[in-house]
């Protein structure tokens, strides 16, 4: 299988998975991410105490932004705030195309989003949910 096809399938699979697209009744915070150039409008909803006990998203977006949101949520759900911050940092290092990133493994399937680093229009789609999460975590 071609590597691009493999990446494409992971993105498609994650954008179709709507299990994290829901409201959280007793949520503690919400942050909206809006990307007018593509039309992505995704809000990240979080319930946190000493860890991220629940996290989800609502809104609409393209395959890349919704896949990115789904993968991100699967990665940080149940993690402590510090652990989640580290994952977010590694993700942005990857998107900036930094070399020899330590702990790149923490990104799991989300490494496919590295594909967007040379597509300026799509970087905004891939990073939108992560910017929203970063803001939510910085408030902790
Ligand atoms: Zn988009």
Pure H helices in 17-80:
63-76
Give the chain's mean pLDDT: 94
pLDDT greater than 60 at residue 1:
no
Q: What is the pLDDT of residues 57-96, one digit of tens each?
A: 999 999 999 999 999 999 999 999 999 999 999 999 999 9
Nearest CA-CA partner of 10 in 73, 91, 66, 89: 66
The arithmetic mean of pLDDT across residues 118-132, rounded, is 93
| Nearest residue to 107 via CA among 78, 75, 132 | 75
Q: Are 133 and 72 in contact (CB under 8 A)?
A: yes
3-class state of residue 3 by DSSP:
helix
Which is more confident, 1 or 109?
Answer: 109
Residue 132 has pLDDT above 70, yes or no: yes
Q: Give residue 50 CA to ligand 1 midpoint distance, Å.
A: 32
From ligand 1's centre to the CA of 124, what distance in Å?
7
- Cα–Cα distance for residue pair 40/36, rounded to 1 Å: 7
Model confidence at 28: pLDDT above 70: yes
What separation in Å is there between the alpha carbon of 89 and the centre of ligand 1? 21
* Distance of CA 28 from the midpoint of ligand 1 (Å): 26
């Amino acid at each position: 299988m071609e590597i691009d096809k493999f990446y494409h399938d992971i993105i498609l699979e994650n954008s179709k998975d709507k299990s994290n697209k829901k409201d959280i009744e007793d949520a503690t915070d919400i942050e909206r991410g809006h990307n007018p150039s593509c039309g992505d409008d995704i809000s990240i909803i979080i319930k946190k105490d000493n860890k991220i006990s629940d996290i989800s998203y609502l809104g609409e977006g393209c395959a890349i932004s919704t896949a990115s949101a789904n993968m991100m949520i699967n990665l940080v759900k149940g993690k402590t705030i510090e652990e989640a911050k580290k994952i977010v940092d590694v993700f942005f290092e990857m998107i900036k195309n930094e070399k020899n990133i330590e702990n790149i493994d923490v990104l799991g399937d989300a490494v496919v989003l590295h594909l967007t680093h040379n597509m300026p229009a799509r970087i905004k789609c891939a990073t939108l949910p992560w910017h929203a999460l970063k803001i939510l975590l910085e408030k902790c």
